Amino acid sequence: MSTSRATGLAKLTTGMVAVALDIAGRCRYGETMGARFDLRKWLVIPLWVVVLGVLLAAPLSVGASPRTQGTTHVVQRGEHLTAIANRYGTTPQAIASANNLVNMNLLYVGQRLTIPGGSSAPAQGNTYYVVNRGDTLTAIAARYGTTTQALVQANGLASANFIYVGQRLLIPGGGTAPAPSTPSGTTGYYTVQAGDTVSSIAVRNGTTAWAIVQANHLANANFIYVGQRLVIPGGSAPAPAPAPQPSSNKRIVIDLSEQHMYVYQDGGLLYSWVTSTGMPGAATIPGNFKVLTKLPNAYAYTWGLQMPYWLGIYWAGSLQNGIHALPIMADGRILWDGYLGQPVSYGCVILSTENAQTLYNWAEVGTPVDIQY
């Protein structure tokens, strides 16, 4: 029912009520067409009918003019109110008000939100990225030509250091995903072997480490894995990598029961160092291994640790365990400082920084590593 029609009905009803009351007042015992009766008693029924009509007309007139027209958005995993607001060209406060949200930070997957004044389609010019293993916010920002701070603000992140695999991030400013690398006549491929580093692969293929990082969108040049297929920009198919040759005159022995490392060369003991191996539940695996990789500084994404003077020795599922110096936390503090000689690590073999540097400079890829009780 339109507003004008409802208004007219209300005026007509008001007039009818006024006339009826006037008649009732004038005719205590009115006489009409010769009949004698109590007019007030008979006016009760029509008065209630009129009042009911007014009550029914009022809601219809209100419903005809809704206060807010909006779009419905279903919350997806990893979304925040700020990102949703940016997507639809509105504000978090407006969405919170439209949906009576008490806490703007509390959303759940599947929640239906009314977007006040929003269009049926998300705001144009926005791109989304799903976080993969090994990603950092800085790397994602560089990949899309934006800044870390812009990503933090657009997605309502509490910390630039905390993102998780599968998280859906809004890329502000209409950043577009880089085109996937397409092989050209001078582009080759290389499959990572044990002991490879991005730098060594670049040297072998006549390119640079940075070119390989860009061509493969690597978040960390220090993180590649055996079997990974890399695009080699401007390169040709490389010759097969020579297998690391074990050094017959060098050997590293780690005694788990003693929490000690013995380093031998030419059959004689060269170094003897206290060490720390894996804690209960994450014990270092005994066995006969060899040095697979050498990195000046590796990074553990799982725990957010820098691991100086890294010598990788074996794989534990998708992670590589190795020998390295006392790890460095994100705030610069040294983890496990003062605990050498006790099994405190997540599976790696820990040395003091000085001893780890000495071992790193002495050992080479292929050096035998025996871990025993």
Question: What total number of domains does the chain contain?
Answer: 4
What CATH number is given to the structural domain containing 102? 3.10.350.10
- The answer to whether residues 39 and 132 belong to one domain is no
Most confident of 95-109, 301-315, 340-354: 340-354
If asked whether residues 165 and 204 sit together in one domain, one would say no
pLDDT digits (tens, 9 = 90+) for 22-52: 555 554 444 444 444 454 554 445 555 555 5
d(CA 45, CA 47): 5
CB atoms within 10 A of CB 174: 13
Residues 262 and 224 in one domain: no
How is residue 264 annotated by DSSP?
Answer: E
Compute the distance between CA of residue 218 and CA of residue 208 in angstroms, rounded to an integer: 14
Establish if 179 belongs to a structural domain. no
Stated as kind and residue range, the H or E segment containing 16 is: helix 3-26
Residue 245 belongs to some domain of the structure: no
Query: What DSSP element (H or E) covers 213?
Result: helix 209-216
Who wins on pLDDT, 36 or 213? 213
Same domain assignment for residues 131 and 212: no
> Looking at the structure, do residues 16 and 49 belong to the same domain, yes or no?
yes
Answer yes or no: is 181 within a domain. Answer: no
Domain range enclosing 139: 70-174
Alpha-carbon distance 90 to 307, whole Å? 44
Residue 241 lies in a domain: no
- pTM for this one? 0.39
The number of residues in the chain equals 373
- Indicate if 260 and 166 belong to the same structural domain: no
> Does 321 map to a domain?
yes
How many CB atoms within 10 Å of residue 349? Answer: 25
Helix (H) or strand (E) holding 312: strand 305-316
Shortest CA distance to 121 belongs to which of 87, 91, 169? Answer: 87
- What is the Cα–Cα distance from 231 to 351, expressed in whole angstroms? 36
> Looking at residue 340, which CATH number applies to its domain?
2.40.440.10
How confident is the model at residue 241, as a pLDDT? 44
Same domain (yes/no): 31, 82: no
Q: What is the pLDDT of residue 78?
A: 67
Are both 227 and 322 inside the same structural domain?
A: no
Is 240 part of any domain?
A: no
Give 233's contacts (C-beta < 8 A, 6+ positions apart): 181, 187, 207, 211, 212, 214, 215
